[in-house]
Amino acid sequence: MYRTHSNGELRAIHINKTVTLSGWVQKTRNKGFMIWVDLRDRYGVTQLIFDDERTSKSVMEIASKLGREFVIQVTGTVIERESKNPNMPTGDIEILVSEVTVLNESLTPPFTIENETDGGEDLRMKYRYLDIRRKPVRENLIFRHKVTMAVRNYLSEKSFVEVETPYLIKSTPEGARDFVVPSRMNAGQFYALPQSPQTFKQLLMVGGMDKYFQIVKCFRDEDLRADRQPEFTQIDCEMAFVEQEDILNTFEGLTRHLLQEINGVTLSAFPRMTYDEAMKKYGNDKPDIRFGMEFGELNEVAQHKDFSVFNQAELVVAISVPGGNSFTRKEIDSLIDWVKRPQVGALGMVYCRCNEDGTYKSSVDKFYDANDLAKWAEVTDAKPGDLICVLSGNANKVRAQLSALRMELAEKLGLRNPKEFAPLWVVDFPLLEWDEETNRFHAMHHPFTSPKPGQLELLATNPGAVKANAYDLVLNGNEIGGGSIRIHDKETQALMFDYLGFTPTEAKAQFGFLMDAFQYGAPPHGGIAFGLDRLVAILGGQETIRDFIAFPKNNSGRDVMIDAPAPLDKTQLEELSLQLNLKS
Ligand code: ASP
C-alpha cells in the first residue's frame, strides 16, 4: 500500500499513529543532524522529520540525498510539532520517519513549484505538468470540475439529457473558419470539426429528445485575440416546445444556481435590456453594469454652436466620470492619447471639468458657455467633482470608442470588482448584420435563428431592421452565453438561406439534411450555449481563461508542450492524398 493517508489529512488527533505517506518532495532543509522535508500531493503538504537520534543511519542517508520533486514513500509516526504552523492545515504535526523509499527521482524542475513561482508563462506552459503541481493551477482545475458537476447535476435534475454529438462533421456556420480533417478513405475529402453542435442539437429536437445538453469541445479557426482558444468548451443546450421566455427562465435558473452553489451569492431576477438600448446606453452589446457611466447623447445640446467637429459628427456622445475632476491635466492628456491609439481610433476627446463650486471648465470654452456646459452635465448626469468626456463622429464607431474608454476608466477607478456579479440579458438582437468586407448581410447569430414573429416580411424591405428571437447572457461585461429560438420549418429556413446569399443548390448541399428533417415534424425549439471556460474564470473571480484549462494553447494557437501544430511526414501526407506546395 502506497499510503494510509493523504498529505493534507493528518491532524493533532492522529498523534502517535503510524502512517505511510507518498508524494513529491517540495523542499528539504538539512541541518546535518536533522532533516526536514515538505511532502506534497494534491491534498496538501505534510512536514517530515528525520533526526540523527531517532532515525536510522541508512534512512538518514537517503533523506540527505532527496532532491526537489523526487517521488517518495515514507512510513513513520505522527508526532506533535514543536513550532506549529497555523497557516498549514497539517501544521500541528509532523512525521518522524522510520522508513523511506525513493519511488522515482526527478531532474531539478525548471521553475519553483510553489504558490508563487519564478517561472515565466512560456516556461510554465512548456512544462505544464509541473505547473499543474502548483496549488493555484491545481485549484483552478478542481474549481472547474465543481462548476461542471454543478451544471450537470442541475440540468440533469431538470430532465435534460447529455447526448454526445460527433466531432468529425461538415461545416456549421458560427462565423469562424473551420478546422478541417482530411479523410484517408475518401481521397480529397475533408471533415470539419464542429464550431458548435448547433445542427445536431436541432436534429435531437426533431428526434424528440426534448431537453438536451452537452459539455462539449468546439473548434473555431479564428484570428486569435487575447485570451481566445482555438478549441474551447461550451455548455450547449436545446429545448423543444419553448418560447424565448422559457429559455431565459431556465438558464437564468442555472446561472443563479451556479452563483449560489459556487460563490454563495444570491441574485434576484436578472435585468433585461434590448440590444438597441445596450448600444445606446453603453455602446456595447455586452455592457458591464456593475458601474454607471451611461452614455449621454449631446447632439441636441452641442450642435448649435460654431464647433465644426461636433457639427459635422453623426453622433456626439459623452460619459461623466465620477470624481474625474480630480484628474490632473497630465492624466487627462494621457486619456486623450489613450483614445487616439489605433486600437481605439478616436480622433480626439473633448472634456469638461465639473468643479465642486458648480462652475465648468471645458477644453472647448471658446465655443460653449456655462449654460451649454450645464446642459451637457444634465444629459450625462454629471455631478460637481466629475469629468465629462466627449467623443464625436460616426455613430457606430464613436459608440465603440466611448465604450472602450468607459471600460478603461472603470478599470482605472477600481469599479470592476471581481467579487460582485452583475448579470444581464441582452435581448432582441438584430437578425442580420451588415458586413463591410463582403458587402452583404450576414446572420448576426447564425442562419438557424428565427426572426421575431411577424417580422419576416420586413426582410424584403428593410433587412437591417429585422429583430431576432436571439439573446445573450452577459456577466460583468462578458458574454457568457448566447442563443436563439430557431426556425423550424423548411420554407422559412430556405428563405433565410436565400437572404444570406446561398443559392438553393448550395443550401441543399450544405444543409439539405436539416431542411429534410424539418419536413418530418420538427417541433418548435430553441436553445443557448454558455462558454464554459469564461464562465468558470468569472465565477473564480479571474479574467484569464487559460488559467482554468489544463492544457491550453498559447496566443498563437500553439501547444508549446507537445509542439503542435507540426508538419506531417511524407508517407502520412501521401496516405491522405495531400500535397503541400508551401512557398519557402
Ligand atoms: N450554437 C450557438 C453558439 O455556439 C449557440 C446557440 O445558438 O445555441 O453560439
Cα angle value 534/539/541 (rounded, 5°): 95
CA within 13 Å, CB half, 440: 9
Closest ligand 1 atom to 238 CA: 8
Each of the 584 residues of the chain gets a pLDDT tens digit; together they read 999 999 999 999 999 999 999 999 999 999 999 999 999 999 999 999 999 999 999 999 999 999 999 999 999 999 999 999 999 999 999 999 999 999 999 999 999 999 999 999 999 999 999 999 999 999 999 999 999 999 999 999 999 999 999 999 987 777 889 999 999 999 999 999 999 999 999 999 999 999 999 999 999 998 877 788 999 999 999 999 999 999 999 999 999 999 999 999 999 999 999 999 999 999 999 999 999 999 999 999 999 889 999 999 999 999 999 999 999 999 999 999 999 999 999 999 999 999 999 999 999 999 999 999 999 999 999 999 999 999 999 999 999 999 999 999 999 999 999 889 999 999 999 999 988 888 888 999 999 999 998 898 898 899 999 999 999 999 999 999 999 999 999 999 999 999 888 999 999 999 999 999 999 999 999 999 999 999 999 999 988 999 999 999 998 999 999 999 999 999 999 999 998 776 65
Q: Taking phi first (over 0 means left), then psi (-120 to 50 degrees means alpha), and beta for anything else, what does residue 293 get?
A: left
Whether residue 353 contacts residue 360, with contact meaning beta carbons closer than 8 Å, is answered with: yes
Residue 176 is predicted with a pLDDT of 87
Closest ligand 1 atom to 484 CA: 7
For residue 399, the CA-to-ligand 1 centroid distance in Å is 26
| Nearest to 23, CA basis, from 46, 50, 55 | 46
Q: Taking phi first (over 0 means left), then psi (-120 to 50 degrees means alpha), and beta for anything else, what does residue 201 get?
A: alpha
Task: 411-420: list long-range contacts, CB under 8 Å, 24+ apart.
Answer: 413/321, 413/322, 413/323, 415/290, 415/291, 416/288, 416/290, 416/291, 416/476, 416/477, 417/290, 418/476, 418/538, 418/541, 418/542, 418/543, 419/541, 420/290, 420/476
Residue 583 is predicted with a pLDDT of 67
Distance CA 299, CA 282 (A): 17
Instruction: List the grid coordinates of 421.
Output: 456579479
Closest ligand 1 atom to 236 CA: 8
Instruction: Pick from 220, 228, 247, 445 the residue to mutate for probing ligand 1's pocket: most ligand atoms within 8 Å of its CB.
Output: 445
| Nearest to 424, CA basis, from 255, 544, 289, 292 | 289
Distance CA 275, CA 426 (A): 6
For residue 472, the CA-to-ligand 1 centroid distance in Å is 10
Closest ligand 1 atom to 449 CA: 7
| Nearest to 520, CA basis, from 546, 558, 492, 489 | 489
Residue 435 is predicted with a pLDDT of 85
Instruction: Pick from 195, 446, 528, 533 the residue to mutate for probing ligand 1's pocket: most ligand atoms within 8 Å of its CB.
Output: 446
Closest residue CA from atom 3 of ligand 1: 529
For residue 482, the CA-to-ligand 1 centroid distance in Å is 6
For residue 497, the CA-to-ligand 1 centroid distance in Å is 18
Distance CA 52, CA 34 (A): 6
**Virtual CA dihedral for 308, 311, 315, 318, nearest 10 degrees?**
60
The β-bridge partners of 102 are 72
Whether residue 473 contacts residue 530, with contact meaning beta carbons closer than 8 Å, is answered with: yes
Domains and CATH numbers, the chain: 12-104 (2.40.50.140), 139-272+423-548 (3.30.930.10), 291-412 (3.30.1360.30)
For residue 529, the CA-to-ligand 1 centroid distance in Å is 5
Q: What is the pTM of this model?
A: 0.94
For residue 443, the CA-to-ligand 1 centroid distance in Å is 12
Residue 578 is predicted with a pLDDT of 92
Q: Which helix (H) or strand (E) holds 279?
A: helix 275-282
Distance CA 486, CA 199 (A): 10
Which 3 state secondary structure label does DSSP give 190? Answer: strand
Distance CA 443, CA 439 (A): 13
Amino acid at 478: N
ω before 565 within 30° of 0 (cis)?
A: yes
Whether residue 318 contacts residue 388, with contact meaning beta carbons closer than 8 Å, is answered with: yes
Q: How far is CA 410 from CA 231, 271, 290, 538, in A?
A: 31, 21, 10, 17
Which 3 state secondary structure label does DSSP give 244? Answer: helix
For residue 213, the CA-to-ligand 1 centroid distance in Å is 12
Closest ligand 1 atom to 195 CA: 4
Closest ligand 1 atom to 526 CA: 8
Distance CA 507, CA 394 (A): 36
Cα angle value 520/525/526 (rounded, 5°): 145
For residue 403, the CA-to-ligand 1 centroid distance in Å is 25
Closest ligand 1 atom to 448 CA: 7
Q: Which helix (H) or strand (E) holds 535?
A: helix 532-539
For residue 62, the CA-to-ligand 1 centroid distance in Å is 58
Residues within 6 Å of ligand 1 by CB: 174, 196, 198, 482-484, 527-529
